[in-house]
Amino acid sequence: MATRAQYELVNPPTDGISKVRFANTSNLLAASSWDKTVRYYDPVANEMRVKWDCAAPVLDVCHSADDSVLASGGVARQLVIHNVETQAMTTIGGHEGIISCVEYSSQTNQFITGSWDCSVSMWDQRSPNQRVGHANTGKKVFAMSTSDDYVIVGTSDRKVFIYDIRNLDKLVQDRVSSLKHQTRDIQVNIEQTGFLLTSVEGRVAVEYIDASPKWQNKKFAFKCHRYLDKETQCQTVFPVNCAAFHPQFGTFVTGGCDGLVMAWDGDNKKRICQFPQFNTSIAALDFNLDGRLLAVGASYTWEQGEKDVPPDAIYIRNIREFEVERKKRREAPAAKNNYQ
């Protein structure tokens, strides 16, 4: 039987999808939503295993390293632990403002939260309500990603802060985004040498952590998720809401408010492919552990104000290698040997 290229998950969130995240050790998928739920799916069987009802809209969710628990945060300003086996919920910390981002550090075995209260905090689930690390950003946190060594934080006013993951008090770098408009997403690459920045103005930046000129000279930005009307020559620019790196090839996909998911080869600065258009904005993306599945959260993100929109949906796409594999560079023809 042929494998379906793409299918929709049952029991999707009923309001805006904020995040989709595959587990680290399996194909199970977590999703957070503005409908005040965290949902846990088996995408291969196409069934929802668990639904947790939360106190307020949930803006982010992530797994622990062993996938035994999920952590979520959102409008309730609480960091909540969801036990996958027992289905219990436990609040282990909180912020004074909305929690916009939740990440996990496998190096420290701790959860990290970013908030609109202009701070980043680190939490150990074994010590409820006790921060084990804290940093004041001075700006609202909009996006966050982690590597083995660093926490990379995107904030209001286009600021990018890089912190030592073992000591949040240590600010390693203070940057201004190379993009001219608000940051929507940050994703560290698989080599952990750099990261993507996406913005509301149809651009993506490829940046590098090392501040030396050797590395900074490699960074670049490009336009994407734009539509040009050939008749009027009027261009519509769409926010780039999310991105995800392929775990095998190191290429990446971006999702925009134009309903498109595009795959890119950052090394060769080329687009690899464009998937068939979805019927609404792409709010969230994630690859599974071997890169064979891509979860797509199709959910209107209010870029065009109040209007009738399609129902929210999570799609699973079975990825074929040619859709995400780097394009081989064409070799220049060999010079003729005039001495033969």
SS3 of residue 157 by DSSP: helix
Which pLDDT does position 327 carry in this prediction? Answer: 80
Asked whether 208 and 219 are in contact (CB, 8 A), the reply is yes
What's the structural domain count of the chain? 2
Dmax (CA) for the chain in angstroms is 80
> Is there a single domain that holds both residue 32 and residue 122?
yes
Final residue belonging to a domain, choices 135, 158, 176: 176
Residue 331 belongs to some domain of the structure: no
> Is there a single domain that holds both residue 38 and residue 109?
yes
> Is there a single domain that holds both residue 100 and residue 223?
no
Tell me the residue range of the domain where 292 lies. Answer: 181-325
Residue 306 binned pLDDT confidence (cut-offs 50, 70, 90): confident
> Is there a single domain that holds both residue 165 and residue 238?
no
> Is there a single domain that holds both residue 161 and residue 188?
no
Residue 265 phi/psi, 5° resolution? -105, 100
Residue 9 belongs to some domain of the structure: no
CA angle 284, 124, 16 (to 5 degrees): 20
Asked if pLDDT for residue 286 goes beyond 80, the answer is: yes
> Is there a single domain that holds both residue 19 and residue 90?
yes
* 304 against 258, higher pLDDT: 258
Rounded distance, CA 232 to CA 3, Å? Answer: 41
End-to-end Cα separation, the chain, in angstroms: 56
> Is there a single domain that holds both residue 164 and residue 188?
no
Asked if pLDDT for residue 254 goes beyond 90, the answer is: yes
Express each pLDDT in 64-101 by its tens digit.
999 999 999 999 999 999 999 999 999 999 999 999 99
Question: What element of type H or E holds 323?
Answer: helix 321-324
Q: DSSP of 241-285, one letter per residue?
A: EEEEE-TTT--EEEEETTS-EEEEETTTTEEEEEPPPPSS-EEEE
Q: What is the mean pLDDT of residues 126-151?
A: 94
> Of 73, 72, 69, nearest to 85 (Cα)?
69
Final residue belonging to a domain, choices 121, 155, 176: 176
> Is there a single domain that holds both residue 150 and residue 195?
no
Least confident of 41-45, 210-214, 306-310, 321-325: 306-310
> Is there a single domain that holds both residue 197 and residue 171?
no
Residue 330 belongs to some domain of the structure: no
Which pLDDT does position 1 carry in this prediction? Answer: 39
> Is there a single domain that holds both residue 310 and residue 202?
yes
> Is there a single domain that holds both residue 155 and residue 198?
no
Final residue belonging to a domain, choices 156, 176, 196: 176
Residue 2 belongs to some domain of the structure: no
Asked if pLDDT for residue 218 goes beyond 80, the answer is: yes
Express each pLDDT in 149-172 by its tens digit.
999 999 999 999 999 999 999 999
> Is there a single domain that holds both residue 33 and residue 153?
yes
Rounded distance, CA 90 to CA 71, Å? Answer: 9
Please state whether beta strands 167-176 and 282-287 pair in parallel, antiparallel, or not at all (unpaired). unpaired
Share of the chain above pLDDT 90, in %: 89
Express each pLDDT in 99-126 by its tens digit.
999 999 999 999 999 999 999 999 998 8
The average confidence (pLDDT) of the chain is 94
Identify the bridge partners of residue 93 per DSSP, sorted by sequence position. Answer: 79
Residue 337 belongs to some domain of the structure: no
Asked if pLDDT for residue 334 goes beyond 60, the answer is: no
Residue 120 belongs to some domain of the structure: yes
Rounded distance, CA 105 to CA 122, Å? Answer: 9
Residue 269: give its domain's CATH number: 2.130.10.10
Cα dist. 17→20, 229, 327 in Å?
8, 29, 32
Residue 300 belongs to some domain of the structure: yes
Residue 231 belongs to some domain of the structure: yes
Cβ partners under 8 Å of residue 238, min gap 6: 202, 225, 226, 227, 256, 257, 258, 303
Asked whether 122 and 132 are in contact (CB, 8 A), the reply is yes
Which pLDDT does position 336 carry in this prediction? Answer: 45
